[in-house]
Amino acid sequence: MTKTLAKLEKLDEYRYLIPQQGKMLTSGLIYASSPMLEKILEDRSLEQVANVATLPGIVGCSLAMPDIHWGYGFPIGGVAAFSLDQGVISPGGVGYDINCGVRLLTTGLSRPQLKGKINDLISRLFAQIPAGVGSKRKDLRLGAADFKNVLENGAAWAVEQGYGEAADLSCIESSGIMEEASASLVSSRALERGRDQLGTLGSGNHFVEVGYVAEIFDETAASVMGLFKDQVTVTLHTGSRGLGHQVCDDYIKVMLRAAEKYGIYLADRQLCCAPLASPEARDYFAAMSAAANFAFANRQILSHWVKESFLQALHLSPRDLDMNLVYDVAHNIAKKERHRVGGKTLELCVHRKGATRAFPAGHPESPERYASIGQPVIIPGDMGRYSYVLVGTQQALEQTFGSTCHGAGRLLSRHEALKKARGRSIAAELEAQGVSVRSAERDTLEEEMPEAYKDVEQVVQVVQESGISKKVAKLRPLGVVKG
């Protein structure tokens, strides 16, 4: 255990403090239960929380959500806010998969209506949604002007092209568009990587999951979201694909030079950053925003194909299917937001890397539809167990800049998972549990098997009990398409 970790102070049942020390400009604050903390201490993620606290202009604590694990520079599950005039922006605080995020769709169907049909439905989804490394759509060809529009208009572009409805935009974080995006600040290499990938799922832990509402914890909130027990739902998880990765790589190079230029101490090279007021920071924010818009557009397009798959596989009319978007959230992003800190309203750049925005009821950035309950938060678990729907709270706004967890986090490396899966058929095991699976790549099911992940219930328990989010419903899987 390092010196930093040895000085962890327990504030209450679910919060631990890394006191300010050494080069830290503030404290680190970790949301976790005691049993989870033991596991967290096995990697160096808390050191990363302490390292983030050394960055200039940080406001409040360097935060860690209960699904924290070791990342690049910032830990995954890390949240940090910086003042616009004194602070910095760091690509490491956003991640490579810019705007990797998740959306939840509901239907008018109940689980019994899928009996005997789930395999066909999953096969149809698998056919309609390109997944896996290097996957591309044949039916979507973008010229340079169109691609620029995607990067600068995000989900709005997709709606204009006929993917989904205009009403969907109000149910997407930031209405599906980061306004400061500039396609001209995205490199030609990034454009090349992204051009054929719009409308595809990607690989690894990206997925489309058909599930159902297994349990409702908050009837009022569920009703406002249009959720009911046994309702068939779809959860979609993907991001900005190769384009986002390239933007991150491009700007890490820029930020390494910028950190030197502006004399910024870096506890870790992957914390490379630039002052928010600098041209380097403005360029990165604009390129990051463009990549985020790509991801918003991507999820909007994929939702269209999810709907088409349902209509075709189940021979339903759109009216009978009644598919609707509950909400779409990012969990790898930097946002410019206003927050009350110490009695003052501050303009901040909030980095959420493997963390989800969770604004409360009545917040101006929460959709009007959810004004009475708070912004929906979707927390996917592994493909065998369950996922959760929550809402943001006032406590989150006050304690974590309106942030909460994003998922379960890996327990086993891909290599360890493959070893453990040897001699087993994970597909057969999942089928026996009533979960139909299809995967684009060999080994993906083994690498992504449920045992490879932590139990998301434990993560959600912490955010619930600590008050930074509130449970609304629990979803269970019926079928999954993996990249």
Partner 1 sequence: MTPYRRLPHTADLRLEITGSGFPQLVENAGKALTALLTDRRKVRKTLSRAIIIEGENPEELLVNWLNELIYWFEVQKILFADFNFEKLVKGQMKVTAHGEEFSPQKHILKDKPKAATYHLLNVEKNADRYIARVVLDS
Q: What is the contact surface with partner 1 in residues (CB under 8 A)?
A: 43, 69-73, 76, 96-97, 132-134, 189, 192-193, 203-204, 242, 245-246, 248-249, 252-253, 256, 268-270, 272, 410-415, 441-443
Least distance in angstroms from the C-beta of 441 to partner 1: 6
For the chain, give the longest Cα–Cα distance: 64
Cα 96 from Cα 81, distance rounded (Å)? 19
Cα 92 from Cα 457, distance rounded (Å)? 27
Least distance in angstroms from the C-beta of 482 to partner 1: 12
Least distance in angstroms from the C-beta of 133 to partner 1: 5
Cα 342 from Cα 335, distance rounded (Å)? 20
Handedness of CA 193, 196, 201, 202 (dihedral sign): negative
Least distance in angstroms from the C-beta of 468 to partner 1: 24
For 191, the token pair is 């454009």
Asked if 306 and 208 touch (Cβ cutoff 8 Å), the reply is yes
Which residue type occupies 197? Q
Asked if 285 and 89 touch (Cβ cutoff 8 Å), the reply is yes
Phi, psi of 219 (to 5 degrees): -65, -40
Cα 78 from Cα 28, distance rounded (Å)? 10
Q: Is 135 helix (H, G, I), strand (E, B) or coil?
A: coil
Least distance in angstroms from the C-beta of 417 to partner 1: 10
Phi, psi of 428 (to 5 degrees): -65, -40
Least distance in angstroms from the C-beta of 268 to partner 1: 8
Handedness of CA 87, 100, 102, 327 (dihedral sign): positive
Catalytic residue annotation: 406
Least distance in angstroms from the C-beta of 38 to partner 1: 15
Cα 467 from Cα 453, distance rounded (Å)? 24
Cα 477 from Cα 384, distance rounded (Å)? 7
The length of the chain, given as a count of residues: 483
Element (H, E) at 423: none
For 84, other C-beta atoms within 10 Å of its C-beta total: 16
Asked if 176 and 300 touch (Cβ cutoff 8 Å), the reply is yes
Strand 58-69 relative to strand 28-31: parallel, antiparallel, unpaired? parallel
By C-alpha distance, which of 9, 106, 128, 81 is closest to 333? 81
Handedness of CA 182, 188, 191, 193 (dihedral sign): negative
Least distance in angstroms from the C-beta of 203 to partner 1: 5
Cα 176 from Cα 155, distance rounded (Å)? 5
Nearer to partner 1 (CB atom), residue 69 or residue 476:
69
Cα 188 from Cα 246, distance rounded (Å)? 10
Measured CA distances, 270 to 1, 28, 80, 237 (Å): 22, 18, 15, 25
Least distance in angstroms from the C-beta of 192 to partner 1: 5
Cα 69 from Cα 76, distance rounded (Å)? 5
